[in-house]
Amino acid sequence: MSDQNNDWEREIITRLAESSLKEQRRARRWGIFFKLFAVAYLTTLLVLYSNPEITNTAALSGKHTALINIKGVISADDDASADNVITSLRNAFEDEKTAGVILRINSPGGSPVQSGYIYDEIVRLREKYEDIPVYAVITDICASGGYYIASAADKIYADKASIVGSIGVRMDNFGFVDAMKKVGVERRTLTAGKSKALLDPFLPINEDSKEHLQGMLNDIHKQFITAVKNGRGDRLKTDVEGLFEGLIWTGQQGVEVGLVDELASSSKVARDVIGEEDIVEYAVTEDILEKLANRVGASVASMLHTRLVTPNLE
């Protein structure tokens, strides 16, 4: 009787153990499945977000108006960089279904180099694709480097309350010489080349260096003015006081001085000027990992460098 009880207990324990092992294996298999699914899902997202050629193709089934947004500061490290905008421009022009291109600009300006790259590419594409018109549409603001780009378009449209103009160049710097004296800090900088510490905020301003930098800014300003004149032609009222001196105007005033052709929105231009109401946005998506990295200290350092050292069309 004792042996039978032991056999029964042993059998029960064995069955329980086997059942437990089966549940563990089943749970492990499901765990592996969900982990693989999560990895595949994340991988797909990374591929989608890291592909610089992906555009919004929602309405590519027929003829359409291509839209390219130029938003924010124009610089190599921002969304409105020459690389991003030029890639979008080329994609739009190379699409056989593009009837016309709209540059929707909302920018205070930025790098003269980046703005110049975009300007030159618009001019090149206009010559290559003569049947595809390019129109700049200003929303809130199109100043300095933003207007540099807009002037390359066939026509410029704006809202009556838009801010437009600011055809000038600036370079910002600070001086802390008196503050250092009060605090009792001694500046110790060694250079090879008398102008190597150019615009050092902890040293008194050097008149020779200041004159050299002013000449450099004047040269960039001339390049800016030449680009605007070439783009706008006889439409500009060049005798308007302050037109090339950094002043800004409303969209309504811009029409009067020749900075703007007409008042209209993107949808109106697409519908009434280009003749294709369907609008497709062409945009370059930023690598998601790079996007996260750019949100930390490197972007702050870049901003400070741009503000303190680099000339700006702002």
- DSSP one-letter code for 107: E
Gap between the Cα atoms of 156 and 136, Å rounded? 5
Q: Which two tokens stand for residue 98?
A: 């593009």
User: What count of Cα atoms within 13 Å lies in the side-chain half-sphere of residue 248?
Assistant: 18
- Cα 197 vs. chain centroid, distance in angstroms? 31
Is the distance from CB of 163 to CB of 140 less than 8 angstroms?
yes
> What pLDDT is recorded for position 249?
94
Strands 279-281 and 64-71, by their bridges, are parallel
Handedness of CA 237, 241, 243, 244 (dihedral sign): positive
Average pLDDT, consecutive stretches of 10 residues, N- to C-terminus, the chain (314 residues): 59 68 68 62 54 43 90 92 95 95 96 95 96 96 96 96 92 73 75 75 76 88 94 92 92 96 96 94 70 50 48 63
Query: Maximum CA pair distance of the chain?
Result: 119
Gap between the Cα atoms of 86 and 73, Å rounded? 16
Task: Count CB-CB contacts under 10 A for residue 307.
Answer: 14
